[in-house]
Amino acid sequence: MAIELGDRAPNFTLFDSQAKAVQLSDFLGQWVLLYFYPRDNTPGCTQEAQGFRDLKTEYDQLQTVIIGVSGDDAKSHQKFIHKHDLPFLLLTDPDTAVATAYGSYGPKKFMGKTYEGIYRHSFLINPEGAMAKIYRKVKPADHAAQVLVDLASLQAPNS
């Protein structure tokens, strides 16, 4: 069953790069950008993460927490964070249960081969824990800026 606008965001507990448990419910009362990405240190994933990093101050001004999720382990996340100076949480989803719950895991094709993997999807979650915006067709180069525009619009009075 696909997640739709207005649906409550499925809660989860995953571990961050320091092996600390993080629950989505820890962020109730705040805006959250939850983004799923295939793999640390690949070109598209790096570009997307750097976009969020470069606009982090603007996200902070809109009181929005950025959380990235992939199937990579904590050590991989540590290297990715350090190499690219990423100032936000990256969580490990080794069995892809959370990605699956968000409809962000399934068959992919690359160079004529089909395999299972995490999709590049993002979810903007409002302070009440409901889906405010869903991004299923993400272009890494401009995604962070587009989400910021949408977030400002959603937070504007009378929106």
Number of Cβ atoms within 10 Å of the Cβ of 79 = 14
Helix axes 143-155, 43-54, angle to 10 degrees: 40
CA–CA dist 18, 77 (Å, integer): 9
Q: Are strands 31-36 and 113-118 parallel, antiparallel or unpaired?
A: unpaired
Q: Which residues are catalytic?
A: 45
Tell me how far CA of residue 108 lies from CA of 32, 112, 119, 139, in angstroms: 27, 10, 8, 16
